[in-house]
Amino acid sequence: MAWDTIRPLVELRHIALMLKIAHSVLYVRLPVWKIWPGGVVYLADFIHKQRPDIRQEILDLALIEPGQRRARLRERLLDLRPDVVAFSWRNMQTFGPHPENDALEVVMSFDHSPILWRRAKATWDAIGIIWDYAAARLRNFGYLRLARRLLPDARLAVGGTAVSIFGKYVARKCPTDTVVVIGEGEQAMLSIVDGFTSPAGHHWYKDRSGNIAHSNADESFDLAQLTAVDFRYIESIFHGFREYLDGTIGVHTKRGCPFQCHFCLYNKIEGDRQRYRDPVEVAKEVETLSTVYGVKHIWFTDAQFCSTKRSTRHVEAILDEMIAREVKVRWTGYLRLNHLTRDIAAKMLMSGLESIDLSFTGTQEVIDSLTLGYDLEQQMAAFRLFKEAGYTDQQVKLYMPLNAPGETRQTLKATIERIHELYGLFGRDNVLPFIFFIGVQPDTPIERKLIAAGYLAADYNPLTLNPFVIKKLLYNPQPLGRMIGRAYLEAYESRGAADDYVGRATMEILEHQLATSEPGSGSGAPVVAAFNEA
Ligand code: B12
Ligand code: SF4
C-alpha cells in the first residue's frame, strides 16, 4: 500500500490515541441506601444513543454486600478493562432531616432529652453515625484510587449530586487524571468518551501531575435530546436492573428551578433555567416501565415537578399523554401548587397521583422569610381543588421547615391550625406532617445569613466531622428549639403505644405545649398523657 494511501489512516490512529477515544465505559454507582440509580441510567442511555459502538456496563455497589464491594469492583475493572470508569456519587451528607432517620432522633436526644442516660446513649450513637459517615466517604475515595491503580491509563470521571455540591473537595481528594463533573453529566460524558482533552460543561480536572483546573459553565443541555430510555438496552448492561422494579423508579421530566428558597441548592445543582423533556417521551418511558416491567410506582425526580406556569403546562401535557395511554402507575414528586387548576388536579388524580408532597408552613411570614415565593391562601385553595376534583385517599405529606428564621410561638400555632384544616379536608390519617428542620447547605442564602449572624463561623467546613458543627447544620435554635425537640422525643418514645405517626404526634404535643406553657419556658406540662388520649 502506498504511503499516501495509508498516511490518513496513520494520522487518524495518532489523533485517536491522542484523544483517547473510548471504546468501553464502566459506570460505578457508589453505595447508597438502595435507590434507583437514575443518573447513570440516563447517562448510559444517552451515550449509547450517541455512540452505539461503545461497550458499557453499570455496576451498582448499592446492590452488593458491603464486604464484597471492593472485590467485585476489582473483578469488573480487570475483566472489562474499560477506557473510562465513570463513578456516580449521590449522597455525601446524609444528615438531612428525615423523620424516620436515627440521626434526627440522636441530635434531638443529645440536645434536648431531660434524661441523662438518653443523652449519654445519644453521644455514643452519634459517634457511630459520624464514624459511618466518615468511613463511607473514605471508602468511596478508595474505590476511585483502586480504579486508578489497576488501570493507570483509563480516564476516570466522577459526577452525581454529592459531587455537584462538593466538587472542589472531591477534586482535591480524587486520584490523578480524573474529571470531576458538576451538575448534569450528558455533555461532559460525551466529550469524555470522545476523548477531548478539555471536557464540556462545568467541571474540575485533576491532571496527571495532580494540578487542579476549574472550568465553569451554565447548565445548558437540551433535554429534548433525552428520549424515552431504552430499558432493553439498560437491562442488558445492568445486572441489578430488575432488583429495583418492585420499588419506586425515578423519571426525570425537566431540570432547573428559577426560585431561590433560602435553604435550597437544587437551583445550583440543576441550574436556574427550566429545561424540559418532550412530554410524549416521558409518557412513553413511564408506559414501558409499567407495561413491560410491571413497575407500579414512579417518582418524578425533578427539583419541582410543577412550579412555574410554564412547567405546570408541561406537567399537564405529560399527564394528558399518560391518561391517553392508560398508563397504570401511582406517581408522585415534589409539588408546588402555585398554578394548580381544578382541571390539572383532576388530571393528577386520574393519572395516578399517589401522594401530595410539598413544603408547608402555616404563615405568610415564614413563607416570606424563607423566600418560598408563594401565597399561603392560594396554597390552601389549591388543597381544596384536589378535594373538589375527586380526591380519595392520597397521602398529603407536609415537609415542614419548623423553627426556621421568623418562627414564633404564634406562627407555630398558626401552622398547627392550618394542619387541622387539612385534617378536616383530607382525613387525619391521610395527612403526614414531616418534622423537617432546615439543613444548612453550602452556598445557600440561609448559610450566608447564618454566617453573617455569627451562628456559623465564616470558615466552617460543611463536611466537618465535628459533631458540634454537624449539629448546628440542623437548624433548630432556641427559644423554640427545646420545646420542639422535647415534643419530638416524646412523640418518638410513645409512637408505638399510641400507634400514631411521629410527625403528627409531635405537632399534637406541641399544640398542647403552646396552649399550656408560658412564652419563654422551654418545657411545659407533661404531655404524654394528653397525646396518648388523642
Ligand atoms: C428526587 C430526590 C429524592 C427522591 C428520590 C426518588 C427516587 N426514587 O428516585 C427521595 C425523596 C426518595 C430522596 C431521598 C433522599 N435524598 Co434526595 N434528592 C432528590 C433530588 C431532588 C433529585 C435526584 C435525582 O434523582 N435526579 C435526577 C437524576 C437523573 O439526576 P442525577 O442523579 O443528579 O444525575 C445527573 C447528574 O448528577 C450527573 N451524574 C450523575 N452521576 C454521574 C456520574 C458521572 C461520571 C458524570 C459525568 C455525571 C453524573 O448526570 C446525571 C444526568 O445529568 C436531589 C436534588 C437535586 N435537585 O438533584 C435530592 C438529593 C440527591 N437528595 C439528597 C439526600 C440527602 C437524600 C436523603 C439522604 C434524604 C434523607 N435524609 O433521607 C434521601 C436518601 C435516599 C437514598 N436512598 O439514598 C441530597 C444528596 C446530597 C448530599 N447533600 O449529600 C440531594 C442533592 C438534595 C439535597 N438536600 O441537597 N431524594
Ligand atoms: S425549594 Fe423547590 S422551589 Fe424552592 S428553590 Fe428549591 S427546588 Fe426551587
Q: From 301, 330, 473, give the residue whose CB has the most ligand 1 atoms within 8 Å, as the site to mutate.
A: 301
- pTM given for the model: 0.93
> What Cα–Cα distance (Å) separates residue 154 from each residue in 85, 140, 314, 457?
7, 18, 41, 40
Pick the closest to residue 87 from 185, 12, 20 (CA basis).
Answer: 185
Q: What is the pLDDT of residue 526?
A: 34
**CB of 275 sitting under 6 A from ligand 1:** no
Do the strands 395-401 and 431-436 form a parallel or antiparallel pair, or are they unpaired?
Answer: parallel
Give the pLDDT band (50/70/90) at residue 309: very high
Whether 266 lines ligand 2, by a CB cut-off of 6 Å, is: yes
**Ligand 2 contact via 370 beta carbon (within 6 Å):** no
Is the pLDDT at 9 greater than 70? The verdict is no
Task: Confirm or reject: Cβ of 91 under 6 Å from ligand 1.
Answer: yes
CA distance 459 to 455: 12
CA dist., res. 309 & res. 331, Å (int):
21
Residue 395 has pLDDT above 60, yes or no: yes
| pLDDT tens per residue across span 76-88 | 999 999 999 999 9
**What does the block give as the cell for 263?**
435553604
Hey, which of 262, 265, 269, 307 would you mutate to test ligand 2's pocket, going by the most ligand atoms within 8 Å of its Cβ? 307
Q: Which residue has the cell 406553657?
A: 517
Nearest-CA residue for atom 69 of ligand 1: 96
Is 303 close to ligand 2, i.e. is its CB under 6 Å away? yes
Counting every residue written for the chain, the total comes to 534
Q: Is the pLDDT score of 497 beyond 70?
A: no
Res 511: pLDDT: 97
pLDDT for 98 equals: 52
pLDDT 10s digits, 40-61: 999 999 999 999 999 999 999 9
* Grid cell for residue 451: 454566617
Query: Does residue 270's CB lie within 6 angstroms of at least one atom of ligand 1?
Result: yes
Work out which ligand 2 atom sits closest to the CA atom of 372.
4
In short, whether 311's Cβ falls inside 6 Å of ligand 2 is: no
**pLDDT of 1 higher than 50:** no
Q: Whose CA is nearest to atom 3 of ligand 1?
A: 301
Ligand that comes closest to the CA of residue 306: 2
b/e sequence 47-83, b meaning 16+ C-beta within 10 Å: bbeebeebebbbbbbbbbeeeebeeebeebbeebebb
| Cβ atoms of 504 and 433 closer than 8 Å | yes
Q: ∠474-476-478 over CA atoms, to 5°?
A: 145
Q: What is the pLDDT of residues 419-474, one digit of tens each?
A: 999 999 999 999 999 988 999 999 999 999 999 999 999 999 999 989 899 889 99
Position 8 scores a pLDDT of 52
C-alpha grid cell for residue 64? 452488593
User: What band does 219 get if pLDDT is binned at 50, 70 and 90?
Assistant: confident
Residue type, 163: V
